[in-house]
Structure formats: structure tokens, C-alpha cells
Amino acid sequence: MAFDGGDSGTAAPGASPSPPTDRVVGVLELLAGRPSHAFSLSDIARALGMSKATCHAVTASLASADYLIRNPLDKTFTLGPALVAAGRAAELSYPAVHLAQAEAVALAEELGMEATAAIRSEGHLVIVAHAGGAATGPAAGAARIGRRIPLAPPFGGVFVAWADDEVVAEWAARTEGPAARGPLLDSLAAIRARGYSVERLTPAGVRLRHALAELSDDPLAEGLQPMVMALLAELRQAEYLPGDLDGPGRYPVSALSAPVFDADGGTQMNLSVQPHREMAAKDVERVGRRLLRGCTRITQAVGGKPPVRRG
């Protein structure tokens, strides 16, 4: 999604088919990303690259429909009550989200790690549950609810590990420059063998996490996507393979993720923990098994079933 600051009506090649709609969505996503913060008109216009006149028109329309509340004293905006009903309706459409939030809280408290859940939407992942993690620091906010992350290697491996070859090929193609197909297939095989993914903690991964935390708007916006995808290119073969964790040492682990399956055996959601530290192999396995138990509970609660295992 690309936000444009002009009002000329001239669309650039590849631009969104509805920039006015993008502006509305942009305002809601900006405020949803920091729900405890009150934004002035200038704050919103500056963050989204809009003119003040355009921003005033958008916020006025949203406020009149109760999607925003305008404080009459300081003229700042916060999210409005109309979104409460919309959120409850969305929760009914995705019952797994409510369960995932409770599971994320339990994981964070039990393991002392940040925990998230994400669903797939088009070519990206959307974080829908979050618990734990530092409230401040250089990476705070990287995994906030509503954050969109490209569904590109190494992200989203549990969404494609059990999928057909066409889905796997599409995922593997979402890389910056040519990607070696063999290592990516090895990564997916490792995920299927364990039942969950174990991603290496690398310097590129740390830089990407800090970059996501610093972005005030959509990391998939047109101007930011090249930087995000360039960092992903360094990460695309980050999965620990069978045998990599056999030694007695400690291993730098960025994240462990496991799938929640739907009634057709497809991955509906992933549940993840982010240790961001070195771990002994036995502790990696312990955390992975705990993650699987949480995913199994959600899968059973929503009537899902494991897929037919691939080799």
C-alpha cells in the first residue's frame, strides 16, 4: 500500500487503484499502531505524507462516523467506538485469534519470551496477537498487532511447508534477486520434520527487527519495501536444519514458529515465540514442544486437522 501526499489525481505506474481509500486505511492503521497515543492533525499528515487539507477531510469523515474521536480541547484524534463493533465482528470471523491471544499471554509468562500470532493475507503476514517483550528499547514495536510483514523467505515457512509445489514456488520467488531453491526446500523439510521452525539469530535479522520497530507507518509501503526486501534477502536461508542443533553448545535463536491448521489441513495461523538469544539444543526442543501444544489446542478448538505429511 502506498500513501501519496499529493492531490493531483495522477497515479504513478503500479500505484494503488484507490489512493483515497489508502488514506483512510492509513489513518486507521497509524492510530491502531499506537492506541494509547493521541495524534494531532499535523502528526497524522506528517506520518502519512498527506497535505493538511486532505488529512482534515479524511479525519473529519472518520470522526463523523465514530471511527475516530476528536478531543475538543486539544484537537487530537484517537480511535472511536465504531471500531469496537468492527473488531468484535472480526473476532467472530476469526475465532482462532481470540484463542491465540490467550495462548500468546501464557507462552510469554511461562517462557519469559515475546510471543505473537499471525495470519496470512495476500502476500504478507499480519500480526493479530502479541504478548511479552520489552516495552521500550530499539526493537520495541517491531511485533505490534497489525504489523504487516512480507510473506517471503524466511518468514512464513510454516504457512507453506505443507502446501503444494505451486504455493512453495510462489513463496520462494518472493526474494530480492535469485534464490537457491535447494536450501529453501531443505528449510521446509526441516519444518515438517520438527513440526515447527527454528530461525537463526543473525545480524541481518537484528537490523530488520530494529528497522520494523522504527517504521511509523506501513513497512510494505512503496518507499520502504526495497529496504525491507533487501534485508530479507540476507535472511532467506536462516532455518536450522536437522543436525545443526546436535552439539552441546549454545545456538543463537531468533524465533520459533508453529502452525495452527484449519479444517482442510492448511495453515490458518502461526504461533511464534522470539527468544532473541543463545539457547542450548535441549531448551530449543523444550520451547518447540510447548509451542506445538499451544497450536494443537487452538487447532482442535477451531475444528482444524493436521495435513497429510509430505516427505
> pLDDT digits over 193-242, tens only?
999 999 988 887 777 766 665 554 444 444 445 666 666 666 656 889 88
Please give the average per-residue pLDDT across 104-111, as a whole number: 95
Q: What angle do CA 154, 162, 283 make, to 5 degrees?
A: 60
Please give the average per-residue pLDDT across 153-174, as a whole number: 87
Q: Which three cell numbers stand for residue 145?
A: 498487532
Q: What is the pLDDT of residue 90?
A: 67
Q: What angle do CA 265, 185, 172 make, to 5 degrees?
A: 85
Q: What is the pLDDT of residue 214?
A: 58
**pLDDT band at residue 25 using 50, 70 and 90 as cut-offs:** confident
**pLDDT band at residue 6 using 50, 70 and 90 as cut-offs:** very low
> pLDDT digits over 121-163, tens only?
777 888 888 999 754 444 555 667 777 777 888 788 999 999 9
CB 202 within 8 A of CB 234: yes
Three-state SS sequence of 228-246: HHHHHHHHCCCECCCCCCC
User: Which is it for the CA torsion 124, 130, 132, 134, positive or negative?
Assistant: positive
Q: What is the pLDDT of residue 220?
A: 45
Q: Which three cell numbers stand for residue 106?
A: 501464557
Query: Phi and psi (nearest 5°) for 68?
Result: -130, 155
Please give the average per-residue pLDDT across 66-82, as a whole number: 88
Q: What angle do CA 208, 79, 1 make, to 5 degrees?
A: 45
Cα gap 48→55, rounded to integer Å: 9
Domains along the chain with CATH numbers:
19-85 (1.10.10.10), 94-301 (3.30.450.40)
Going by C-alpha positions, the residue among 162, 182, 39, 241 that lies closest to residue 172 is 182
Counting Cα atoms < 13 Å in the Cβ hemisphere of 212 gives 24
Query: In the beta sheet, which residues pair with residue 120?
Result: 125
From the number of C-beta atoms within 10 Å of its C-beta (0-12, 13-18, 19+), residue 283 rates as middle
> pLDDT digits over 250-304, tens only?
999 999 999 999 999 999 999 999 999 999 999 999 999 999 999 999 999 989 9
Cα distances from 63 to residues 20, 35, 287, 291, in angstroms, run: 16, 16, 45, 41
Q: What is the pLDDT of residue 243?
A: 86
Axis crossing angle, helix 95-111 with helix 82-93, rounded to the nearest 10: 90
Please give the average per-residue pLDDT across 64-74, as a whole number: 88
Counting Cα atoms < 13 Å in the Cβ hemisphere of 152 gives 22
CB 270 within 8 A of CB 257: yes
Is the pLDDT at 76 greater than 90, yes or no?
Answer: yes
Cα gap 276→251, rounded to integer Å: 10
Cα distances from 296 to residues 23, 108, 109, 266, 306, in angstroms, run: 39, 17, 19, 13, 9
What one-character-per-residue DSSP string does 112-177 give?
Answer: SSEEEEEEEETTEEEEEEEE-S-SSSTTTTTT-TT-EEE--TTTTHHHHTTS-HHHHHHHHT-SSS
Q: What is the pLDDT of residue 236?
A: 55
**pLDDT band at residue 14 using 50, 70 and 90 as cut-offs:** very low
Q: What is the pLDDT of residue 21?
A: 83
